[in-house]
Amino acid sequence: MVTLAAAEPPFANSVVSYEPGVGVPAGYDNPSAVLGSPTRFVDDFLFPSVVSPFSSAYLPSDICGLGSGGSIVVEFADPVEDHPDNPFGIDLLIFGNAFFIDVAWPNGVVGGLFGDGGRVEVSADGIEFVEIPDLDADGLFPTLGYLDVGPYAEAPGMVPSDFTQPVDPAMAPLLVGLEYEQLLSVYGESGGGAGVDLATVGLASIRFVRVSVGSQRGLTIEIDAFADVASAGSNAGDLDGDGDVDGADLAILLADWGRGGGSDLDGDGTVGGADLTILLANWS
């Protein structure tokens, strides 16, 4: 019998180095918080909430802090490529805990962006890093966990967003004043994230990402996750690599149920209902 190897989940899977810097609050210095999928739901006993562009992840288990002079370097198991079919030319997404100010709380009307910045550099070999110009690691676009619930829902939705799809960066100047349903239309199926176009620095592929904060900064930034963008021609859920999402892929997912691995399509560490939803949404 031939065993087909599934692709690695499209998220950073190891931390190469971490320097917290100055000013990181107690408990927010766990670098493993940035591995795997971005946070969809804040499982806080007192204040549970979906993660939305108005309600960001904030628990120490969800995000890692970087203070003045701090930095973190992560690695992807598979290269992140400057693929010609990637939507809007975006190849990599970085998720922080930025959020929009709600000027009509609790309705979700976009005001200004509350984000903390952060320098982004990328590397093919982990030695030579190149800075991505004009990009804040903890900035646009704030994370969206689910497509079927309101901005402050206290229970998870049933339709997860796609953390491997970017928002059109051309929409950035048009966001202020949008109501929540309009904002969801802008996001489409995307879960948000700060988009990196590798073509801007002339790299065909990278495996390492560094986020850092200048020594003169007085604020901390927070990072949740890093994701490799899926090209327009890829099928999330094609676990056997034959180009289709069908019964064979479903069988692989069910065999991995309750465990991690390549069937973990949303990168939360366990194969479950959210992964099944993603597979069925891409059935061909």
Across residues 191-213, what is the average pLDDT?
Answer: 97
Across residues 131-137, what is the average pLDDT?
Answer: 97
Query: Does 65 have pLDDT greater than 60?
Result: yes
**Would you call 1 exposed, middle or buried from its count of C-beta atoms within 10 A (0-12, 13-18, 19+)?**
exposed
Q: Round to whole Å and give the CA distance between 107 and 98.
A: 18
Q: What is the pTM of this model?
A: 0.85
Of the listed ranges 83-87, 266-270, 279-283, the least confidently predicted one is: 266-270
Of the listed ranges 7-11, 123-127, 173-177, the least confidently predicted one is: 7-11
pLDDT tens for residues 203-234? Answer: 999 999 999 999 866 779 999 999 999 886 56
pLDDT band at 89 (very low <50, low <70, confident <90, very high): very high
Tokens of 7: 């692709």
| Helix/strand/coil for 100 | strand
8 Å CB contact between 149 and 157: yes
Q: Round to whole Å and give the CA distance between 276 and 134.
A: 37
8 Å CB contact between 8 and 162: no
Query: Does 76 have pLDDT greater than 90?
Result: yes
Q: Round to whole Å and give the CA distance between 94 and 220.
A: 16
Query: Does 186 have pLDDT greater than 90?
Result: yes
Percent of the chain residues topping a pLDDT of 70: 92
Residue 220: partners with Cβ closer than 8 Å, 6 or more residues away: 21, 23, 24, 25, 28, 65, 66, 67, 68, 70, 116, 213
8 Å CB contact between 187 and 167: yes
Across residues 169-187, what is the average pLDDT?
Answer: 97
Helix (H) / strand (E) containing 95 = strand 92-96
Question: 141 preceded by cis ω (within 30°)?
Answer: yes
Domains of the chain: 14-232 (no CATH), 235-284 (1.10.1330.10)
Percent of the chain residues topping a pLDDT of 90: 73
pLDDT band at 243 (very low <50, low <70, confident <90, very high): low
pLDDT band at 241 (very low <50, low <70, confident <90, very high): low
- Higher pLDDT pick, 267 / 27: 27
Mean of pLDDT over the chain: 91
pLDDT band at 263 (very low <50, low <70, confident <90, very high): confident
